[in-house]
Chains A and B, each alone.
Chain A
Amino acid sequence: MDLVQTEIPEGFTRSAGGGHTEEYYLNMGPQHPSTHGVLRLMVRLDGETVKEIVPHIGYIHRSIEKMAESQSLIQNIHLTDRLDYLSCHMTNLGLCLAIEQGADVGVPERAEYIRIIVCELQRIQSHLLWWGCFAMDLGALTAFLYGFDEREKITDLFEELCGARLTMNYFRPGGCVSDLPNEFIPRILKICEHMKTTLDEYDNLVSKNMIIRERTQGVGILSKERALSHGCTGPVARASGINYDVRKDEPYGIYNRFDFDVPLGATGDCYDRYTVRIEEMRQSIRILEQACKDLPDGDFRSKEKPNYKIPKDEHSFSSVETARGNFSTYVVSDGGKTPYRIKYRSPNFSHIGAINDMASGYKLADLVTVLATLDPVIPDIDR
């Protein structure tokens, strides 16, 4: 039997064995703990050095965009929970903003503040989960438990707010489902205060740890040009030095009223992606403190309607910054009860395309590091 495979598998630029008989193909996933879901990476290896990576996606495709065409706009909100399940408040908000734009719905002042507070809490929650999983992928189980401990406090808040811990379904066009429960704001401020000391502890535990540093610094570099051409957004792009944050550049809601910085990295390696996310948590705490201070009284939702209709041939578009990057929603209406077409643009899809640029040339263990710092959410890629 011919042991050297001469046929090039789909997606690869060169066959294994072409001059290098040590080269071979390896499947990482679809069931692999560090791919964070059902993602399959096909890798061409030379010994332990990664030469080329071809990601295969679609293992949990649920055709949510097609399903959207048979559901009313309100019913679609609970489907957006199932895209990026760690940023579901933000994805809910994305669709709600698009509906508000198309159906011309106003939002009360208090609801705008509630939205900001809830979204920033969710960003911290998502980054805490990422922080724990990142450390676990690199072999530090303690940090995983610490991250989940803090995350639990925020998840408990969400459970009291909207009754769910993961699939929130909390925002509606024109506001939110319910008002904040009693004693919510003092508890958020307490968490903020606690998080500040916890983040310093995290720095001592993981960021300054020599093993973590040696495994992340100078590994998985994504240059600014490649990040731009792949359409990377969010922390991945900012770590490569691209100063783009939807909250700053195209402010939605009332983000332009808050004072916060956009952390940037210099080299675009794994350590930069790490530090950018840690710093983003600190900036979210800053936003939370400002929003909690200014939270006005009033309605939490403008006049409720059983369904919202977007006029015929109206196109509405919104972009929000999820914990992973730019999440955009594009709604086309034919004037009926259900949308004619909804298109979601998810940040993770672009990031997974850039993985060949990031991880090829490094060792196989570094591929796990790169994947951990990308923070992919597979249902968001496949939809």
Chain B
Amino acid sequence: MTTPDQHQDTPPQNRPQSRPQNMGAFTPEAQAEDTCTKPSFYAYFIKRPIVGAFSLLTGMGITLKTLCNVTSTVTQEYPENRDTLTMPPAFRGQVIMPHDEEGEHKCTACTLCEKACPNGTISVLPMKNIANKKVLGKYIYRFDQCTLCSLCVEACPFDAIRMGNDFEHATVDKDSLVMVLNEKEGRL
């Protein structure tokens, strides 16, 4: 209560009234028509309503033009156009591990992707095959943690994983988001 109000107990005085000069479409002519700040009777009570009404009509004209122009429709009827909807190839949907016709993947269980991932989304569990060679056992991918940054894909030297194009990931079961990406253990 004792501290003085340094700011605005009285409304600020000496507020500058001028407008910036000549910026783009804000031409001097447009500035001259700007009657908001001029206090004279003619400007305030006669010109201002006319200019104001004209500006509103100009805006309405634009909306009317857009309304009548059928080619300007941009709305996509999403669930209906599902079959024709394609995502660009670079789209980052979720990490997938492509398999060829024989069901083989390219992963060598080098764990570079696991190290590149910023938040521990990937766990590569290697195992030994009959020849005592390290092969992929399980490739665990926790989609609920993934930030879709694609750092793992960049880190993989064998192009074994890539970002898929699927974008409909909604689910009611959080556990279904933890997936095993490889279809079978090991590699030829």
What is the interface of chain A, defined by CB distance below 8 A to chain B? 6, 8, 13-15, 18, 51-52, 71, 74-75, 78-79, 142, 146, 149, 152, 159-164, 167, 169, 177-178, 181, 199-201, 203-211, 213-214, 217-218, 221, 263-267, 271-272, 275-276, 278-279, 282, 306, 356-357, 360-361
A74 to B154 alpha-carbon distance, docked (Å): 11
Option from B1, B5, B18, B91 in Cβ contact (under 8 Å) with A6: B1
Tell me whether B90 and A178 are in contact (CB under 8 A).
yes
A214 surroundings in chain B (CB, below 8 A)? 36
Tell me whether A163 and B150 are in contact (CB under 8 A).
yes
Interface stretch among B20-28, B77-85, B98-106, B175-183?
Answer: B20-28
- CB-CB under 8 A for A266 and B92, given A13-B3, A204-B62: no
Tell me whether A361 and B8 are in contact (CB under 8 A).
yes
B26 surroundings in chain A (CB, below 8 A)? 203, 207, 275
Tell me whether B24 and A163 are in contact (CB under 8 A).
no
| Residue B9 at the chain A interface, CB threshold 8 Å | yes
| Residue B11 at the chain A interface, CB threshold 8 Å | yes
Q: Taking CB as reference atom, which chain B residue is nearest A267?
A: B16
Cβ of B9 to closest chain A Cβ, rounded Å: 7
A266 surroundings in chain B (CB, below 8 A)? 16, 18-21
Complex interface residues of chain B between 37 and 57 (CB less than 8 A to chain A): 37, 48, 51-53, 55-56
Cβ of B151 to closest chain A Cβ, rounded Å: 7
Tell me whether A208 and B90 are in contact (CB under 8 A).
no
Cβ of B119 to closest chain A Cβ, rounded Å: 9
| Residue B96 at the chain A interface, CB threshold 8 Å | no
DSSP majority for the B interface? loop
For the complex of A and B, the 7 pairs showing the least CB-CB separation, nearest first, are A210-B52, A361-B8, A163-B92, A75-B118, A78-B149, A163-B90, A160-B88
- CB-CB under 8 A for A209 and B55, given A159-B88, A160-B90: yes
A161 to B91 alpha-carbon distance, docked (Å): 9
| Residue B95 at the chain A interface, CB threshold 8 Å | no
- CB-CB under 8 A for A210 and B1, given A51-B8, A361-B12: no
A93 to B89 alpha-carbon distance, docked (Å): 24
Cβ of A50 to closest chain B Cβ, rounded Å: 8
A206 surroundings in chain B (CB, below 8 A)? 59
Tell me whether A167 and B118 are in contact (CB under 8 A).
no
Q: Taking CB as reference atom, which chain A residue is nearest B1?
A: A18
Cβ of B121 to closest chain A Cβ, rounded Å: 12
Option from B3, B11, B20, B59 in Cβ contact (under 8 Å) with A204: B59
| Residue B109 at the chain A interface, CB threshold 8 Å | no
B9 surroundings in chain A (CB, below 8 A)? 51
Cβ of B36 to closest chain A Cβ, rounded Å: 5
